């Protein structure tokens, strides 16, 4: 009788683990999907964005000078992240349940790499903005809000609150409405 309960508990635990891993895989797949085009105005491809910024020759040279170092750093962070995630998966796939401390340490390593990658991305954005004139920075930021708004808590149309975007009023009764 006691053995049956133990068997049911192990089966339930395995089902719960498989469900959790499946959920993480689904969300990871969702993150790789291109963001939906915002209503009314489609996000610009990179080359079109460069044309819309109307860069002068010096600005183009400055931006091309910044790109290789940034791409190299991002590639290295992504490789390291992929390796750490494989190591974490290796820990989780062991026949016996791994103890929490090594799993926690691996999660913290992944978290630290994600932090470094995010810092690199924002640092590069700041360096790019130094090259641009104020109207060009505004065009770039509008494009980034449209493109990345869903990552930063927006709806793909900026990081504004319930009103949908910067400068748009909040609906009555929404948090932040006047």
Summarised one tens digit per residue, pLDDT across range 95-142 is 999 999 999 999 999 999 999 999 999 999 999 999 999 999 999 998
Q: By the 8 A CB rule, do 162 and 178 touch? A: no
Candidates 144, 133, 151, 142; CA nearest to 63 is 133
Q: By the 8 A CB rule, do 143 and 157 touch? A: no
Q: How many domains does the chain have?
A: 1
Six-digit token string for 142: 């509008």
Span 64-89, average pLDDT: 94
* Distance separating alpha carbons of residues 147 and 96, to the nearest angstrom: 43
Give 34-53 as a DSSP string.
Answer: PPPPPTTSPPPPHHHHHHHH
Is 138 part of any domain?
Answer: no
Is 140 part of any domain?
Answer: no
Is 84 part of any domain?
Answer: yes
Is 89 part of any domain?
Answer: yes
CATH number, domain containing residue 119: 1.20.120.1490
Is 27 part of any domain?
Answer: no
């Amino acid at each position: 009788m006691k053995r049956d309960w133990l068997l049911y508990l192990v089966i339930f635990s395995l089902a719960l683990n498989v469900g959790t891993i499946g959920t993480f895989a689904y969300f990871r797949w969702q993150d790789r999907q291109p963001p939906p085009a915002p209503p009314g105005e489609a996000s610009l491809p990179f080359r079109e964005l460069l044309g819309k910024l109307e860069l002068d020759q010096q600005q183009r040279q400055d931006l091309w000078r910044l790109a290789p170092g940034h791409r190299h750093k991002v590639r290295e962070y992504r490789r390291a992240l992929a390796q750490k995630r494989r190591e974490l998966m290796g820990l989780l796939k062991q026949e016996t349940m791994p103890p929490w401390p090594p799993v926690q340490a691996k999660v913290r390593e992944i978290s630290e790499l994600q932090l470094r990658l995010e810092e690199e991305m924002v640092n590069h954005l700041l360096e790019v903005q130094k090259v641009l004139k104020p109207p060009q920075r505004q065009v770039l930021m509008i494009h980034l809000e449209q493109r990345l708004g869903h990552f930063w808590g927006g709806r793909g149309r900026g990081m504004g609150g319930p009103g949908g975007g910067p400068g748009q009023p909040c609906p009555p009764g929404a948090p932040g409405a006047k």
